[in-house]
């Protein structure tokens, strides 16, 4: 034990010395670039160029769509109160995800989206401009809701083996819907759905619907249940929410037609 | 402008945390965010820790999205670059080899442990500063630093692999 302690002490001081010997290239002068970027109006919600670009690179086929599209769905992933630092912003299938404090502390377990109405699947398909995907793995939904004047279709399954499962679908790339989410960014993981990239978000977050004018609809704020999977085709983006394992969620998503 | 004053520290942090050649991009991004969200910044709070925290996050996002981090290398000392190893005193050769092995071992650490080592030893931050920069609880800084040291011992001291496998 004694030799372990002395090894550690020696290693600690050796590493501090090493730190001063590490090769670090000279820093570039970024002052002008920073000033130039700050003088331009904040793009959208201030998304990260580094991150957005790296994601766009990985998603070449989507790039034009992503750049051209307005903000459609945004998830704000918040740090706990008191740590009000934006530290992560990026976009995914027209979804903007960031980490920042949320406007709602303890939202109700469920809150309706604006203009939410129950309808049938067939009617919902006539009311919206994007294809409504239904996962074969879940079958016919117990409830179909159309909200925001046809901007969101929600499929609710109440009696799955995993409890209630919810899908929110929207025209991912041309519309301007914004959801805000609050959680922690360490819960995000890249996954593959149908050969396309998807995003797996572990654990509940606060979710808020944002109006076409970009304002949060506070009455819609709620805590999501279980985990969330987000993916999209070029015509429709989907968020799947429920107490599902990652594998189950992906299997459900893969079965969506 | 604040940028000039903090660039060196931010750049060094980004580089050592694994941003490599993209350290300048990370720092640029961090400054833009820091200024853009300045209204959220609490008055009286020092700017540097806040900026470094954004830098750490941006670097993490970058290394995660490209699924690799840049390896660290030790600078060649003046003595090494000036003459061949044969001309150097034995102690210098040994010290150089030892340092190279240590850098290689740090490069082999899992991400989380390497972040702890970089902040605590290479950036010479306190445990509290490290916790703030990486957004970790203080306890995690202590335990991860300790695990990193165990792991390094396993990598560097012959016959230690089995003893530290739980670390």
Token pair for A112: 């309706």
Q: For chain A, positions 138-167, list CB contacts with chain B under 8 A.
A: none
Q: Residue A82's CB: how many other CB atoms inside 10 A? A: 7
Q: What is the CATH number of the domain that holds B21?
A: 1.10.1740.10
Please state the domain count of chain A.
1
Q: What is the CATH number of the domain that holds B142?
A: 1.10.10.10
Residue A11 domain flag: no
Residue A95 domain flag: yes
**So what's the pLDDT on residue A110?**
58
Please state the domain count of chain B.
2
Give the highest mean pLDDT range of A61-75, A134-148, A177-191.
Answer: A134-148
Distance CA B160, CA B95 (A): 21
The alpha carbon dihedral of B122, B76, B27, A201 has a sign of negative
3-state SS assignment for residue A201: strand
**Chain B residue with the nearest C-alpha to that of A49:** B29
Q: With contact defined as beta carbons under 8 Å apart, do A180 and A211 qualify?
A: no
Q: For chain A, positions 168-207, list CB contacts with chain B under 8 A.
A: 185
> Do B59 and B86 sit in the same domain of this protein?
no
Residue B167 domain flag: no
**So what's the pLDDT on residue B41?**
55
Does the reported pTM lie above 0.95? no
Question: What pLDDT, in 10s, does the model give residues B149-159?
Answer: 999 999 888 76
The alpha carbon dihedral of A198, A209, A256, A61 has a sign of negative
Question: What pLDDT, in 10s, does the model give residues A10-59?
Answer: 889 989 988 888 888 888 888 778 777 776 655 444 334 433 433 333 34
Q: Is the pLDDT of residue A101 over 70?
A: no
Residue A145's DSSP bridge partners are A118, A154
A contact test, residue of B1, B3, B157 with most A CBs within 10 A: B3
Residue A15 domain flag: no
> Do B120 and B52 sit in the same domain of this protein?
no
Q: Single out the residue in B43, B66, B89 at which a domain terminates.
A: B66
Q: With contact defined as beta carbons under 8 Å apart, do A143 and A118 qualify?
A: yes
> Do B6 and B45 sit in the same domain of this protein?
yes
Average pLDDT over residues A164-176: 72
Categorize the per-residue pLDDT at B109 as very low, low, confident or very high, splitting at 50, 70 and 90. Answer: very high
Question: What pLDDT, in 10s, does the model give residues A81-91?
Answer: 322 233 333 44
A contact test, residue of B15, B22, B32, B112 with most A CBs within 10 A: B32
Q: Residue B140's CB: how many other CB atoms inside 10 A? A: 15
Distance CA A127, CA A122 (A): 9
Contacts of A21 in chain B (CB under 8 A): 74-75, 77, 99
Q: Which structural domain range is residue A105 located in?
A: 43-254
| ipTM given for this complex | 0.82
**So what's the pLDDT on residue A99?**
52
Residue A163's DSSP bridge partners are A160
Question: What pLDDT, in 10s, does the model give residues B11-48?
Answer: 999 999 999 888 999 998 888 887 776 655 555 567 78
Categorize the per-residue pLDDT at A186 as very low, low, confident or very high, splitting at 50, 70 and 90. Answer: low
Q: Residue B80's CB: how many other CB atoms inside 10 A? A: 15
Residue B71 domain flag: no
**How buried is residue A12: exposed, middle or buried, by Cβ count under 10 Å (0-12/13-18/19+)?**
middle
**Phi and psi for B138 in degrees, rounded to 5?**
-55, -40
Q: Which structural domain range is residue B43 located in?
A: 2-66
CA nearest neighbour of A116 among A104, A124, A107? A124
Q: What angle do CA A141, A183, A228 make, to 5 degrees?
A: 25
Alpha-carbon gap: A233 to the closest alpha carbon of chain B (Å): 21
Contacts of A33 in chain B (CB under 8 A): 28
Q: Is the pLDDT of residue A100 over 60?
A: no
CB-nearest partner of B28 from A30, A86, A185: A30
Distance CA B33, CA A231 (A): 27
Distance CA B125, CA A188 (A): 28
> Do B9 and B50 sit in the same domain of this protein?
yes
Categorize the per-residue pLDDT at B6 as very low, low, confident or very high, splitting at 50, 70 and 90. Answer: confident
Q: Is the pLDDT of residue A168 over 60?
A: yes
The residue with greater pLDDT, B82 or A215, is A215
């Amino acid at each position: 034990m004694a030799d372990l302690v002395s090894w550690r002490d020696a290693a600690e001081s050796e590493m501090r010395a090493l730190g001063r010997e590490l090769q670090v290239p000279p820093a570039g002068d970024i002052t002008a670039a920073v000033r130039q970027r700050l003088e331009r109006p904040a793009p959208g919600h201030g998304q990260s160029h580094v991150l957005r670009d790296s994601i766009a690179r990985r998603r070449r086929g989507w790039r034009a769509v992503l750049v051209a599209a307005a903000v459609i769905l945004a998830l704000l992933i918040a740090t706990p109160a008191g740590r009000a630092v934006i530290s992560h912003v990026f976009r995914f299938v027209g979804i903007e995800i960031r980490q920042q404090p949320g406007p709602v502390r303890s939202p109700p377990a469920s809150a309706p989206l604006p203009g939410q109405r129950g309808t049938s699947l067939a009617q919902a398909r006539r009311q919206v401009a994007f294809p409504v995907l239904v996962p074969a793995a879940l079958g016919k939904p117990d409830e179909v809701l159309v909200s925001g004047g046809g901007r969101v279709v929600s499929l609710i399954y109440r009696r799955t083996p995993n409890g209630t499962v919810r899908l929110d679908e929207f025209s991912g790339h041309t519309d301007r819907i914004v959801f805000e989410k609050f959680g922690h960014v360490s819960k995000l993981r890249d996954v593959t759905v149908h050969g396309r990239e998807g995003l797996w978000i572990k654990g509940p977050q606060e979710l808020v619907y944002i109006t076409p004018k970009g304002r949060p609809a506070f009455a819609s704020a709620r805590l999501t249940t279980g985990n969330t999977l987000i993916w999209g085709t070029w015509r429709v983006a989907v968020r799947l929410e429920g107490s599902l394992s990652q594998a189950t969620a992906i299997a459900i998503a893969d079965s969506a037609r | 402008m604040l940028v000039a004053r903090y660039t060196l520290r931010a750049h060094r942090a980004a580089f050592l945390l694994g941003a490599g050649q993209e350290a300048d991009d990370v720092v640029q991004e961090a400054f833009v965010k820091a200024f853009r969200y300045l209204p959220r910044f609490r008055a009286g709070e020092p700017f540097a820790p806040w900026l470094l925290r954004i830098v750490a996050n941006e670097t993490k996002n970058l290394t995660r999205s490209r699924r690799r981090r840049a390896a660290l290398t030790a600078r060649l000392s003046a003595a090494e670059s000036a003459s061949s190893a044969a001309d150097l005193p034995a102690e210098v050769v040994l010290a150089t080899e030892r340092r190279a092995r240590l850098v290689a071992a740090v490069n082999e650490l899992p991400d989380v442990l390497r972040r702890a080592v970089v902040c605590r030893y290479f950036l010479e931050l306190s445990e509290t500063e490290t916790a703030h920069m990486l957004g970790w609880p203080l306890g995690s800084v202590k335990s991860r630093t300790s695990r990193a040291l165990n792991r390094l011992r396993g990598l560097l001291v012959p016959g230690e692999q089995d003893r530290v496998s739980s670390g």
